Amino acid sequence: MRTKSNLMKTISLLLILSFFVSFAYHDVVAQTSETTDDDKTDEDKTDETTETHHEEETETDEVTEEEEEKSKAFEREYHLEKKDKEFKLESEAKAGDQKDEIEIELKAGGDDELEFELEYFTRTGNVETSLEFEFEFERLIEYKENGTELGYQEGEEVSEMEIGKQGWKNLVYQTVNQTEVIIAETSDGVFSMVIRYSASIIKERNFTLTPNSLKIDVIITDFPYTQAGTSLAIESKIETSAQKEIKESTFEEENGFSEREKEVKLIAGEYAGYFSWAEFAIADGKEINVTSSSIQDDDEETDLEPGQTSSKLYFSFIVADAKKIVWDPKLGVISVSAQQALSQLLGAAESAGLPLPFNFWSMLMALAVPTMALQFIRKRRS
């Protein structure tokens, strides 16, 4: 009876430990992903370039070999080039004999446009495949609902503001908890973005960062409304030669990294990029709904490369007279390495007899339990 009691205590202890391992895992993985860049800002530099390099460190004892092997499939080496009005983020990973690279540039200045440029390359031997698209936040639109369809519709506009027309402040760079943070803000302070990137999977209190995407906090503050009772919408533009379609659930949502999202999926053969967004926002401290339009042809754009098309998307914040709105979109790709990592995890889930689809973090916890139990028993026997 005493032996049985001790066994039950041991099992209970292991379950409690596995619970905390699932939450502490991102901190352990992050220790292998530290950069060598310091945390100072670049506001007092004129177009001076600094660099950040992602280097892997020695594997820590807290992460099992099985967990480490699967986690590395998601990790990427990266290089961040920092300037006052633009940045360039390059990252790469290997999947067997195939190498994939992601390049993301942001330009906030010059012609006053705010434009992301994303390029994705995969190489197997001498064969290379690529996917490219550009995304731009163009205008803030003050509109008045006319009682037909919820959200901004053409003809409902009351006033418009070109984003960045008054110019941009210098980009601000920070490194917080192994996460690169870039802040872009218009000179008038009405529109700003907090952009986050991590080279490994980081699970924060209310969101998860993955190495294949940028998380963007869009912040609208003190918009100069011209009427009472009006709402705001953002006009955006996508230019690409890839096929575009709106998906009701996102790649990251389907794999347990996020929830309540939609996306525009950009398909080029077996590879895809995406612009995704939360279907809710926070306005003056309260949660509100965000509605999105269909993909609309942009007949105004004439400066396109052969095969490219330009499309508009409108995102409406369903609230009137809001002073501050915070909204979370993402920009990224479904990379070869990410697909391989998920395939490995699916195989492990099937071997463990777990139901599908499964949550990534639950999977890691389930894999950790037998490994920890084995280590605990070995120590008890020794």
Tokens 């995407």 sit at which residue? 213
* Residues 6+ positions from 263 with CB-CB distance below 8 Å: 246, 247, 250, 251, 274, 275, 276, 277
Per-residue pLDDT of the chain (382 residues; tens, 9 = 90+): 444 444 444 444 444 444 444 444 444 344 444 443 444 444 443 333 333 333 333 333 344 454 455 456 578 899 999 999 999 999 998 767 778 899 999 988 655 577 899 999 887 777 778 899 999 999 999 999 998 899 999 999 999 999 988 889 999 999 988 899 999 999 999 999 999 999 988 877 677 888 889 999 999 999 999 999 999 999 999 999 899 999 998 888 887 788 899 999 998 877 789 999 999 999 999 999 999 999 998 877 767 778 888 999 999 999 999 999 999 999 999 876 666 666 665 555 455 554 444 454 444 444 444 433 334 344 444 4
Locate 339 and state its tokens: 């697909």
* Cis amide prior to 306 (ω within 30 degrees): no
Q: What is the pTM of this model?
A: 0.73
pLDDT at residue 305, as a whole number: 77
Domain with 274 in it = 2-381
Tokens 């440029």 sit at which residue? 117
Helices of type H across the chain: 2-30, 65-72, 251-254, 336-351, 360-381
Sign of CA dihedral 202, 205, 208, 213: negative
179/326 Cα distance (integer angstroms)? 20
pLDDT at residue 7, as a whole number: 41
In angstroms, what is the C-alpha Rg of the chain?
A: 23
Total residues belonging to the chain = 382
- Do residues 129 and 122 touch, judged by C-beta distance below 8 A? yes
78/91 Cα distance (integer angstroms)? 4
22/13 Cα distance (integer angstroms)? 15
Locate 171 and state its tokens: 């980009």
Query: For the chain, how many structural domains are there in total?
Result: 1
382/380 Cα distance (integer angstroms)? 6
Locate 50 and state its tokens: 């600094």
3-state helix, strand, coil in the chain (%, to 5): 20, 45, 35
How open is the CA angle 194-199-203, to the nearest 5 degrees? 70
- Do residues 22 and 362 touch, judged by C-beta distance below 8 A? yes
Tokens 């949660």 sit at which residue? 287
Sign of CA dihedral 34, 38, 43, 46: negative
Locate 324 and state its tokens: 């501050």
pLDDT at residue 162, as a whole number: 94
pLDDT at residue 341, as a whole number: 65
pLDDT at residue 166, as a whole number: 83
For the chain, the straight-line distance linking the first and the last C-alpha, in angstroms and rounded, comes to 23
* Residues 6+ positions from 6 with CB-CB distance below 8 Å: none
DSSP annotation string for 166-227:
T-BPPPEEEEETTEEEEEEEBTTSSEEEEEEE-SS-EE-SS-EE-TTEEEEEEEEES---SS
- Which residues, in sequence order, are bridge partners of residue 214? 331
